[in-house]
Amino acid sequence: MWKFTTSKNSKLNPDEMVLDADNIPCHVAVIMDGNGRWAEQRRLPRSMGHKAGVENINKIVRGASDIGVKYLTLYAFSTENWQRPNDEVSTIMKLLVEYLRKELNNLHKNNVKVKTIGDISKLPKPCIEVLQESKVKTENNTGLVLNLALNYGGRADILYAFKNVFADYKKGKLNAEDVENLTEKDFSDYTYTAGIPDPDIIIRPSGEQRLSNFLLWQCAYSEFWYSNVMWPDFTVEYLYKAIYDYQNRDRRFGKVK
Ligand code: FPP
């Protein structure tokens, strides 16, 4: 059972697994990896792994929201995932549509705001439509931001930002001096994650320890947390353990204490 305390009156206690309510990461990003292997381990088709993966999302959304995480970014489909077999790509797209059609009212009722990062214009039309509907319906919600990374790649994000800067230069919104003096903060405002703080922690289940082109610009000072459990088996307990470990890390941001 997880308990919560504030940093003023208690130290984290590993026996009790106490989470510090004053040090909840603002932005948690998750690479939802291991659906395929989860299915293979059960001699099921990979599509069943993706289905189980989607069924896991609500629990994690609720668990994150319950403890006050503000942004939850889920890596759902990368710019490289198009290279998977066509039927797997269309399964993932169908699951996305099904999930949002089924859960949108619930997400809205729970004050969740749906956002996306990545070039969603290249997704199938039903995906674009349901994503648009989800964003419009939830745009004034003030709770957890559920940020879906779709047709997203970290390199594509940096290139997207660069092209946006150039577009503003061509329109005259920026002059040559503005571009020369562009700061890291200014550049961040041209990426897909404009307005969203950098992830405090990036979680990757499934045993792989790599970023796979996720949030490359934004992860400069993110804490990484890995687990061998496959995404469909990733429970709220794992999420809280990741946050517990995060709270025990010494984040120095390149400075000395
Ligand atoms: C990684 O597992 C998972 C994906 C590439 C797709 C995840 C996407 C979904 C579950 C659907 C998205 C839907 C919503 C609602 C966000 P993998 O297939 O790479 O697993 P493996 O490494 O074990 O093969």
Report the nearest atom of ligand 1 relative to the CA of 230: 23
- What pLDDT was estimated at residue 8? 44
DSSP code of 183?
Answer: -
Asked if the structure places residue 169 within a domain, the reply is no
Q: Helix, strand, or coil here: 97?
A: helix
Question: What CATH number is attached to the domain comprising 72?
Answer: 3.40.1180.10
Splitting the chain (257 residues) into consecutive groups of 10 residues, what average pLDDT does each group show? Answer: 54 66 98 98 98 98 97 98 98 98 98 98 98 98 99 99 98 98 98 98 98 98 98 97 96 94
Tell me, yes or no, if 186 is annotated catalytic: no
Asked if the structure places residue 31 within a domain, the reply is yes
Q: Which domain holds residue 54?
A: 24-153+198-247
- What pLDDT was estimated at residue 11? 45
Say if ligand 1 is within 6 A of residue 32 CB: yes
Cα–Cα dist 214/150, whole Å: 11
Centre of ligand 1 from the C-alpha of residue 99, in Å: 13
Asked if the structure places residue 184 within a domain, the reply is no
Q: Which of 30, 31, 33 to mutate to test the pocket of ligand 1 (most atoms within 8 A of CB)?
A: 33
The CA angle 201-79-94, to the nearest 5 degrees, is 95
Asked if the structure places residue 13 within a domain, the reply is no
Nearest partner of 56 among 239, 228, 243, judged by Cα: 239
Burial track 143-156 (b if 16+ CB lie within 10 A, e otherwise): bbbbbbbbbbbbeb
Asked if the structure places residue 253 within a domain, the reply is no
Say if ligand 1 is within 6 A of residue 149 CB: no
Asked if the structure places residue 14 within a domain, the reply is no
Say if ligand 1 is within 6 A of residue 95 CB: yes
Tokens of residue 243, six digits: 């946050």
Tell me, yes or no, if 81 is annotated catalytic: yes
Centre of ligand 1 from the C-alpha of residue 188, in Å: 27
Say if ligand 1 is within 6 A of residue 33 CB: yes
φ and ψ of 80, to 5 deg: -85, -20
Number of domains forming the structure of the chain = 1
Residues 6 or more apart whose CB falls under 8 angstroms from that of 219 comprise 154, 198, 199, 202, 211
Say if ligand 1 is within 6 A of residue 114 CB: no
- What pLDDT was estimated at residue 76? 98
The pTM assigned to this predicted structure is 0.95
Asked if the structure places residue 174 within a domain, the reply is no
Asked if the structure places residue 18 within a domain, the reply is no
Report the nearest atom of ligand 1 relative to the CA of 74: 16
